[in-house]
């Protein structure tokens, strides 16, 4: 599975939710595959959010360091 952007992952998760909502009777095997796919997307999304958080913290620290050196 290729790595998705956060936006792509959220779109795919919405698609999975819509698939379950549209089912009158869920095929257990197909449902299991959708759950596995969703779990992987959530795992990737958490990792991407953590990376973004780290980047924001780095920018924040850099700005604070820069402001401190100007004083």
Four-residue CA torsion sign, 15, 4, 6, 51: positive
What is residue 15's predicted lDDT score, i.e. its pLDDT?
Answer: 97
For the entire predicted model, the pTM comes to: 0.77
What is residue 1's predicted lDDT score, i.e. its pLDDT?
Answer: 47
Residues with Cβ within 8 Å of 10's Cβ and at least 6 positions away in sequence, in order, are 45
Instruction: Specify burial of residue 12 (Cβ count, 10 A radius: 0-12, 13-18, 19+).
Output: middle
Dihedral, 8, 11, 15, 18 alpha carbons, nearest 10 = 170
pLDDT confidence bin for 26, thresholds 50/70/90? confident
């Amino acid at each position: 599975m290729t790595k998705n952007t956060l936006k792509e992952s959220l779109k795919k998760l919405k698609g999975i939710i819509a698939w379950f909502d549209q089912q009158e009777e869920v095929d257990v095997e197909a449902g299991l595959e959708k759950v596995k796919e969703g779990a992987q997307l959530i795992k990737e999304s958490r990792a991407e959010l953590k990376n973004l958080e780290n980047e924001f913290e780095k920018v924040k620290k850099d700005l604070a360091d820069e402001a401190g050196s100007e004083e």
